[in-house]
Structure 1
């Protein structure tokens, strides 16, 4: 992103702001001057005024009410009370009403005015009389003379302005006697002069001055308050009349010499009108921006520049949305930056919401004068800031400092001098010590300035969250983590900074930092390490690992099949350049004492994130220092109750924070992978949990399939891991062995780093049981000393409790177990048939006759009883094609058994030809058929198409 222009390269303050010649009057609209035709053109000329006025919703609503009431189309909301403190707007609205009705032919051609008229219930701006009563212009003692009339009171002014000398005569006596007219007299005046509007401004100042004018048994002030009471009643009883009364929400009463009296008068006026009026607060936050821009700046430059800067800030907020308040990432906030340029919205918002709620900071002129002094200071400083942000509040400038402190009680000078402004302040010291961007951008001083702005004023919640602080300090070119780092340093350094429920603020009450910082500076490195080591039992949970905290060498972690977690020392962190730590990891992984480590797949390493070790040690330092402070009885006796509570809370927080910091910092694990090691960083969401570090590690490794609690049986025989043992066939070729012992399998998972880790033997047992039971991946049996299988289990109900992990138990390849089962079934069938033959021969030997073709298998009776062949043959070759699926047994009975009974030496050769239009997988034939033939020592010859293999045995 290109460098954004500084605000002073685009906007130009008024000359009096640049030169610091700032009389209070420069910020005020004088309604009386407009009536007397002596105001500046921007206010005096109705066309100029409306063309340069932004029509807010409030202004539009009030102008609409004026039009409809004066026209007679509306009989309610005839009395409007404008009441606000900061930002003004009251006089602006009164002037808009005055110009609307006093110069209708001039302003109705202006589009924005025409839009208001068209949206109302009137066709055109009605003709109406207007009375403007400005309390600061009225003389309470002498009044004024006009047309040979001596007007002494506001009600005399009202009658004269509305109807001239003739109407004045209706109130002549009341005016001369300075006694308030009653409602009926006022109704008579209003009916005679309607349609009309009555605009009353700054009446409080008039009433306060009128307190000194005696009227009979009362005062002119009391009569004026009574007049206001009767007037609002009369207005509400008269058609086509509209009245607007402006009042301050509160005032700087001391300027009148009697603050309590001023407040009392305001309350009296409000009590008279609040029953029948409608309160309107004319100033909205958005208007404050334009007021400030108009009154402080001669020009604010091209809007294209504003939009470019606003977009840069808004994009910055959106791209780092989790670090800023949600409201600033919304699309409308970009426009707010444009509207408030060159001020950042947060600067004016803080004045509006917080400073503006203080009794002594209510007036527009005071606020604008303060802003003007800030702008004057920053204009002379010429900092390269795109916007005037809260961080621009330079409390080191005497004019700004005096203006700010004028609104607050005593005691803040020490806060400013200690923490906020000046070369010796804690903020300046942090910036100097840190150097770099801290020094260039005055980061700590910017935070201190922003915090002062956010800490002052009224309201329930003063101060700022980290998100709001970032808003006050950061610019698009700056790194977001700066503020979090800086506030952390400020918390440990500032003497008047307080944090409560996530809000940071300055108070006049010194904190414990001055004491604690001294103790922290005396904490030795060994003390920090002991604090961390003592906290480790609080972060170790109930996982599948046996934990070893800070092993010194390879001999500290046993070499066995137990899953072991080696947790490294805080100084052995892992990052891209942590070669020394990785060397230690490899040494411990490869060796055990003076021997090679056998169970390399049973050890996992956990190390701290090297970039976070400092925060861990800081937490340990804080805990150690706080413990020492609490043990010093002399210090404890000098602390107040709130400070004691604060100290205990800090210590309890430190006790909780240290284990939490360990959980966050120990986020780098190293696990076996193939024949090497692999680094795994923890997921951030897991680190933020309350689980202990070994439990977090277990979950993380399970998620990445490094550690298994459940094992797919198919993987045990697949080529993926290639763990099945091999043996040589007669040709010296390596082929899969028919079985593997369960003990060997278990050992493999503890030793071979190409395999995942198993959480327990139960995981392997459960996998074997499922492989036998559910899907028939392999068989399970006992292995005798002679190498025979006993108690074969295959594709039958089987559970993990029945599985033994030993050298006497094996899992058998599927092909072999099927062959084994079939051979055993065949043997049983042969035994059954032999018994049947024996039974049949016994029957024959007891005298049964047979055919000539029967041969004598066993002689029991005389030779004469057995027939012998009439003719002998030497050999016989039989060719037959039995049914492939279901006639093998019949073939044996029909051919083999008769030859056996003939005492023939039988030589059997099977010729099988397999054809497939789709084609057959030669490797599967070699693996399944040749392997079975080889295992059974069967002589065979296989031809593939035109290829022929050598005869094998």
Structure 2
């Protein structure tokens, strides 16, 4: 298979096109100008013109018919009317006939003449007198010819151009008196100068000019119509005479509004009795014409076929998103034939734009595409084809042509949304980055929508499939295009989505009106909206008491219970604000007003991430603006029902997203650390809570974060109360009041937080039952009447955190109990000879090694130094358990542990885009791990 190459590496533009030195006059041929010996050489010189003319099948047919008529074949129609759309090749056909039959000896060696000779009698191109009657160039008043002859009417011009002053004398009286002639008189004139070819161009325009001029028999226009009818008959009755007339089929030419349309019908009837209608350019005939005019060559067949193959395969991937004919063999052939242009671009310009008044189809298309090729060549365009989205609207030449159609009023839309470096489409591409930014996908989508916004279609604008084919090319993923399209729809200021079509208007759309209203949102409205969201996403939720918008330390309660304070959003983590925020947080956590804070281990703070808070504020400002627009009934009347529905949909979407944005922003957890700095000062810990799953509150985020790190406990092992790490019962101290134990958990940041006193109560009950320690109550723990609970079940309701209840070491409690219940000493036994046969104490915790030496050194573990653990099919609610069970044990022993996750997700309904983008992808980026998300649907 041939490698798909950029079109610029395959084709070769004409030098003047590539360098941009071409004159736009070369795309604006005028028959009257050429007949007068003026105009560009490309049109004036017969050889140059013939060498640059592509002979379409219809053009060949028209020229052969004319040639056969001039050669005297009586069966060939004498009157040929060129039926074209405005700018559909009629002028080029007239010029071809003018040069070919007026100067056959000059063009006989050109490909044009050689081709036609094959179809003409005797293989000869006949020479004829060629008369040009240019309705656009002829005026309503008398004109003095170069020999001094003064002519007044179309009849006079015909006679003089046929045979000069001699021929004019035959019609002088009718010409000077503005009289009609007769068919017989015209036949004699034509016969005298045959073979003759009369090229009548834009007769309607001439007749409109002379409509108000009075003649003997009414208006000069009526007299001229009679002459045209008689001329048609005379030509038909004169061998070797031929009349070729053009009547632009568009009824929207601005000659005289309704009058011009009526005149068009009357001229058509005048010559239509004997005419033969010819359409020189139709359908895909325009493809080779463009190739001939713009390129020296369009590359090898294999390269064009490779492009067609690649695009056909690409459209297969889109399935029903593009019409079925894009995947058919016929369209494959069209791609190859139109190369390097995409057929959709040429159809858009030729058909949609070609139907517009004032847009000459072939000329206009040539001008736009010439500037397009020039600009893309200069920019080093690397696309495989030139698509609609590739048309460079930022090029002055292209833009000038487009503005002729759209009107000056669309300049604001072009500047705001497409052509400037800071345009809305360019901003969408930069935000997306990667493939979208490199391929300027949003800019090209906007260009596609803009070009499709004009034409005679009842419903202007680009459909979804036209947006796809306007930018889609092999290698560009579906998801990138769809994401850019959706982002552009919600960003552009002048592009609207109505009736399933994207189109540009001169009126600002919802996006721009919303932006205008955003700047007017009062600060108090914005603050109230954010506080509304904060109340929703930070409720009082066990085990926390929540205090919002903490500004001063006195606002955070100092209580023996868990308190979660949300710092006011003026205190932010990020950029150069972090140090100030941490210093303020330290003050809040260690003080309350002018006094020191007692319960330093019950309070934590959460501050906003500066960047994410700005995003949340922007989202809130937009929501406030949209709500204001919704309530502005006067302004809302400017939008149709579909747009008003879109506004309500957007409001609902933002109302659903904003709470999560607020949770995402409140993610910086600040708490007192267990240690001190080098000078014995208090240290604060700052932890990023990470991205929050959709629907989760700030409180839940904090709770889960602390629990996962054992900094918030729902359960406590009894042995921990005796551990050196907790240091709750110093060495040498036999008992501690349980009230003081609870106070310690409330006051000392070196200890974990307890979700409630119930955690400690359960721990004490379990420890007493397991004989790890005893619970004693009374006036003192060692009072003779103290109640000691040791190795027995204790009802948790009996454990009160008040004076008079102690935790007592197990050995001490046992000693107290033994003292209360002394056991009789056993009778001494005779020691057997050879020493005491009873085993001695086994060394263990708290027991010294036996005399004569210590225990032997333990052997080093014999397990592996390296291993991998494969765990499969873990449900989401068990992931944390797997980490605790299979990851942390190795990590705590100092091993280097690396975990690779393959997360398979499947749901019955589609995920919300922000769940994937804002929660998953953004969260993974922020914790700095390499990741890749694969969507099998794309």
Tell me the equivalent position of 1:246.
246
> Pick from 479, 490, 493: which aligns with 2:491?
493
- CA–CA distance in structure 2, aligned partners of residues 124 and 297 of structure 1: 31
What do residues 14-51 of structure 1 show as CA deviations (whole Å, max 9, x unaligned)? 55545655544222345456657778776567677556
Q: CA deviation at 1:442?
A: 0.9
Q: Report the secondary structure of 2:381's partner residue.
A: coil
Tell me the equivalent position of 1:356.
354
Q: CA deviation at 1:430?
A: 0.8
Any residues of structure 2 matched to 1:291-690 within 5 Å, and which?
Answer: 291-297=289-295, 300=298, 305-318=303-316, 320-362=318-360, 364-513=362-511, 634-636=631-633, 638-640=635-637, 642-644=639-641, 646-648=643-645
Cα distance, 1:44–1:330 mapped onto 2, change above 3 Å = farther
- CA–CA distance in structure 1, aligned partners of residues 398 and 52 of structure 2: 30
- CA–CA distance in structure 1, aligned partners of residues 110 and 411 of structure 2: 52
- CA–CA distance in structure 1, aligned partners of residues 348 and 297 of structure 2: 24
What do residues 64-95 of structure 1 show as CA deviations (whole Å, max 9, x unaligned)? 43355556666575433224345441122223
Q: CA deviation at 1:165?
A: 6.2
What do residues 798-821 of structure 1 show as CA deviations (whole Å, max 9, x unaligned)? xxxxxxxxxxxxxxxxxxxxxxxx
Q: Which ranges of structure 2 fall in alignment gaps of 5 or more residues?
A: 539-618, 657-693, 695-872, 876-902, 911-938
Q: Report the secondary structure of 2:170's partner residue.
A: helix
Cα distance, 1:278–1:639 mapped onto 2, change above 3 Å = farther
Q: Report the secondary structure of 1:416's partner residue.
A: helix
Q: Report the secondary structure of 1:282's partner residue.
A: coil
Tell me the equivalent position of 1:834.
none
Cα distance, 1:627–1:326 mapped onto 2, change above 3 Å = farther
- CA–CA distance in structure 2, aligned partners of residues 524 and 421 of structure 1: 38
Q: Report the secondary structure of 1:495's partner residue.
A: coil
Q: CA deviation at 1:416?
A: 2.3
Note if contact 2:630-2:647 (Cα within 8 Å) is conserved in structure 1. Answer: no
Q: Report the secondary structure of 2:92's partner residue.
A: helix
Note if contact 2:87-2:359 (Cα within 8 Å) is conserved in structure 1. Answer: no
Tell me the equivalent position of 1:198.
198
Q: Which ranges of structure 1 fall in alignment gaps of 5 or more residues?
A: 530-621, 660-664, 673-678, 688-953
Cα distance, 1:283–1:504 mapped onto 2, change above 3 Å = same
Q: CA deviation at 1:317?
A: 3.2
What do residues 408-456 of structure 1 show as CA deviations (whole Å, max 9, x unaligned)? 3453233223332323322111111111111111111110011101112
- CA–CA distance in structure 1, aligned partners of residues 27 and 222 of structure 2: 31
Tell me the equivalent position of 1:751.
none
Q: CA deviation at 1:326?
A: 3.0
Any residues of structure 2 matched to 1:642-791 within 5 Å, and which?
Answer: 642-644=639-641, 646-648=643-645
Note if contact 2:52-2:292 (Cα within 8 Å) is conserved in structure 1. Answer: no
- CA–CA distance in structure 1, aligned partners of residues 108 and 419 of structure 2: 54
Q: CA deviation at 1:487?
A: 1.3
Tell me the equivalent position of 1:189.
189
Q: Does 1:159 align with 2:156?
A: no
Tell me the equivalent position of 1:874.
none
TM-score (normalised: structure 1): 0.51
- CA–CA distance in structure 2, aligned partners of residues 317 and 528 of structure 1: 46
- CA–CA distance in structure 2, aligned partners of residues 48 and 18 of structure 1: 20
- CA–CA distance in structure 2, aligned partners of residues 208 and 435 of structure 1: 58
Note if contact 1:82-1:247 (Cα within 8 Å) is conserved in structure 2. Answer: yes
RMSD: 5.1
Q: Report the secondary structure of 1:493's partner residue.
A: coil
Q: Report the secondary structure of 1:198's partner residue.
A: strand
TM-score (normalised: structure 2): 0.52
Q: Does 1:132 align with 2:126?
A: no
Note if contact 1:130-1:199 (Cα within 8 Å) is conserved in structure 2. Answer: no
Tell me the equivalent position of 1:229.
229
- CA–CA distance in structure 1, aligned partners of residues 474 and 623 of structure 2: 38
Larger Rg: 1
Q: CA deviation at 1:211?
A: 6.4
- CA–CA distance in structure 2, aligned partners of residues 275 and 681 of structure 1: 75
Any residues of structure 2 matched to 1:910-921 within 5 Å, and which?
Answer: none
Note if contact 1:511-1:643 (Cα within 8 Å) is conserved in structure 2. Answer: no
- CA–CA distance in structure 1, aligned partners of residues 370 and 379 of structure 2: 14
Q: Report the secondary structure of 1:411's partner residue.
A: helix
Note if contact 1:101-1:125 (Cα within 8 Å) is conserved in structure 2. Answer: no
Tell me the equivalent position of 2:174.
174
- CA–CA distance in structure 2, aligned partners of residues 78 and 683 of structure 1: 74
Note if contact 1:102-1:130 (Cα within 8 Å) is conserved in structure 2. Answer: yes
Q: Report the secondary structure of 1:429's partner residue.
A: helix
- CA–CA distance in structure 1, aligned partners of residues 478 and 100 of structure 2: 50
- CA–CA distance in structure 2, aligned partners of residues 109 and 505 of structure 1: 50
Cα distance, 1:147–1:4 mapped onto 2, change above 3 Å = same
Q: CA deviation at 1:634?
A: 2.3
Cα distance, 1:637–1:42 mapped onto 2, change above 3 Å = closer
Q: Report the secondary structure of 2:247's partner residue.
A: strand
Tell me the equivalent position of 1:62.
62
Q: Report the secondary structure of 2:414's partner residue.
A: helix
Q: Report the secondary structure of 1:354's partner residue.
A: helix
Q: Report the secondary structure of 2:503's partner residue.
A: strand
Cα distance, 1:11–1:645 mapped onto 2, change above 3 Å = closer
Tell me the equivalent position of 1:287.
285
Q: CA deviation at 1:403?
A: 3.3
What do residues 162-206 of structure 1 show as CA deviations (whole Å, max 9, x unaligned)? 566665443232234443423342234345555543221244555
- CA–CA distance in structure 2, aligned partners of residues 138 and 648 of structure 1: 57
Tell me the equivalent position of 1:606.
none
What do residues 657-709 of structure 1 show as CA deviations (whole Å, max 9, x unaligned)? x99xxxxx9xxxx999xxxxxx999999x99xxxxxxxxxxxxxxxxxxxxxx
- CA–CA distance in structure 2, aligned partners of residues 441 and 28 of structure 1: 34
What do residues 521-562 of structure 1 show as CA deviations (whole Å, max 9, x unaligned)? 989799999xxxxxxxxxxxxxxxxxxxxxxxxxxxxxxxxx
Note if contact 1:140-1:206 (Cα within 8 Å) is conserved in structure 2. Answer: yes
Note if contact 1:141-1:213 (Cα within 8 Å) is conserved in structure 2. Answer: no
Cα distance, 1:110–1:130 mapped onto 2, change above 3 Å = same
Q: Report the secondary structure of 2:406's partner residue.
A: coil
Q: CA deviation at 1:510?
A: 3.5
Note if contact 2:86-2:248 (Cα within 8 Å) is conserved in structure 1. Answer: no
Note if contact 1:306-1:338 (Cα within 8 Å) is conserved in structure 2. Answer: yes
